[in-house]
Every structure is written in C-alpha cells, then in structure tokens.
Amino acid sequence: MAILITGGAGFIGSHLTQILLEQSDEKLVSLDNFNDYYDPALKRENVKPVANEPRVTLIEGDFCDGEAMKRLFDEHDIDQVVHLGAYAGVRISVQQPHNYQHANVGGTLSLLEAARHHPVKRFLLASSSTVYGKGAGIPFNEDAPLGIPASPYGATKRAAELLCLTYHQLHDIPTVCLRPFSVYGPRLRPDLALTIFAKAVHEGTPIPLFGDGSIRRDFTHVSDICQGFIAALTAEGVVGQEINIGHSDPIEMRKLIELLEKSFGKKAVIDYLPERPEDLPVTYANLNKAEKLLGYSPKVLIEDGIQEYVDWFRAWHS
C-alpha cells in the first residue's frame, strides 16, 4: 500500500512528502513530470531532502498518461491519492488555456480512471479558492452558490471538482475536494506574487502592483495547508465534500509589501499598474466546515510566516 502524491516535486507536494514521512509510516510515491512551467532545477532541489529515503519512490512521469497511471497504481499498490499536480496560476491560464484544460481536467480524469480500476480508500483533489469566482459571498462558504470563475485556471479547477464528485457518485470513489487559499512559504513558485515582490525588494527594483494595493488575499502557510490535507486522508464524514483550507484572515497586498519591507529591512519601490480582470478582489475562507470535519486550525501567523519565507529566500538567493 502507498500514497501517491502528484506534483510531488512542487512547492506543496515536496513539503507534504516530508511531513508525511515524519507523521506516518506509509510508503510514498512522489510523481512529477519536471516540466518547464518553471525551472525544473528548482523542483529537483525540492526533492533532495527525500531522495534517499527508503519509504519514498520518486517517479518522473505524466499523470495525463492514463495507461501509465493504471500501471503505476497496480505496480505500487496505490491506496490513497493526493492530487496536487496541475498547471497553476491565474495570469498564465489566460494565455495558455489549452495547457490548463489538458493538465487540470484531462489529468484529473486519467487519475480517476486509474482509481476506478484500482480502488483506493481516499482520493484528495487539490482544487483552488479561484473556483469561487466573482460574485461569490464573502467569506467564501463551500455550501453557497459559486460565482463565475474569473480565469481559465479557476474554471479548470471547478471542472476537476465536478469530475471528482461525479466519479464519487457513479463509481463510489472516495473523493474529497480541498480548496487551498493563497499558499506561501519556503520553496514558493517563482511566478507567484509574493516571490515577485520579494525579488523586487531584495534587488531594489520596482514591484509590479496591479491596482491600488487594496486587493486582499487569504495567505495560508504551507505547513497549515499540509496539515489540512493529512487530516483529510483519514477523517470521517469528508468523502464527497468540498472543503476550504485557508487562514480566514485576508490582508491587502499593500500590507504584504509592508511585511516584506520589515523583513528585508528595505523600502519597496512600487510600480502601480492597471487592475487585471482575472484577479478576484478578495479571497477569504470560511473555515467552519474544515474545523468541524478535519479539526483544522491554522497555526502560522502571517508576520511569522513572511519572516520565515524571507529568511529562506535570502539563503536560497545567496
């Protein structure tokens, strides 16, 4: 028996693999295709801490390959799935919608088909807060009507959720759709706003800020996200559910910049740019369901998390 972690060399996946090693006795299969969405060398660095662990099998492969996934499930006796792998990011999805559809919808379908032929006891989908779209009530409540996704990324994540719910209904696959909110921490992807802002402050170059800085994001530390996912692997009453995993305390982007200024000990230069239609004005997780079903309670304060991130950023860029 083993847990399959797709996107295992990525930001969240590499952290989850390490934490599961510490907190469980399960065998782990980390799957990643090491594509060039961002520098594959960063992903290879991410998995170095677990590369020689006997309970971890690192596989370079593509979860969109349905036949390969069926073989992988059989050969490694997969009985739990944490599907983190995806084309991520709002802005790039507007430019490359077909890539997002192929990976986020088609890839999820190939894994569900593999799970249909090789039954599993839990299938976790890493969805996204972007599924709430524009017009959703604040804070975002899983049981309230969704708005229209503001980007192809949000649309593909919602489509992946619907596939999971359908396969649960049709084939009794025990799916759970988890919706992470603005995840941050060490190993953060280079395309995300926090990384771009940190690099600008570090180098003394202008921060490209879309809008006036009043956009709010529910930043959630990667360690809290991982604990939510781990709880969902064994919790009762979660199958067939959609559950927010956030911090429930959104901050404005200008506040984020202030925290970076404090941590770096430098003043930021800001280049104000027009707002983008694909950006939601706020993300804000209602955590009632996560608290009730998962016992979830985020621990890391944004001030502490940003300082930890900046310490890692400095070490990495030195």
Report whether 166 contacts 145 (CB < 8 A): no
Q: Angle CA(150)–CA(142)–CA(122) in degrees, nearest 5?
A: 105
Give the torsion through C-alpha atoms of 136, 137, 143, 149, to 10 deg. 10
Q: Specify which residues 32 forms β-bridges with.
A: 60
Decide if 153 is catalytic: yes
- What per-residue confidence (pLDDT) applies to 37? 86
Cis peptide before 186 (omega within 30 of 0): no
- What per-residue confidence (pLDDT) applies to 210? 95
pLDDT along the chain (318 residues), means of 10: 98 98 97 92 95 97 98 98 97 96 99 98 98 94 95 98 99 99 98 96 97 97 99 98 99 98 97 92 97 99 98 93
- What per-residue confidence (pLDDT) applies to 192? 94
- The pTM (predicted TM-score) of the whole model is 0.97
What are the chain's domains? 2-181+221-246+285-299 (3.40.50.720)
Characterize 159-189 residue by residue with b for buried, 16 or more Cβ atoms within 10 angstroms of its Cβ, and e for exposed: bbbebbbebbeeeebbbbbbbbbbbbbbbbb
- What per-residue confidence (pLDDT) applies to 318? 83
Please pick, among 153, 184, 296, 309, the residue that the annotation labels catalytic.
153
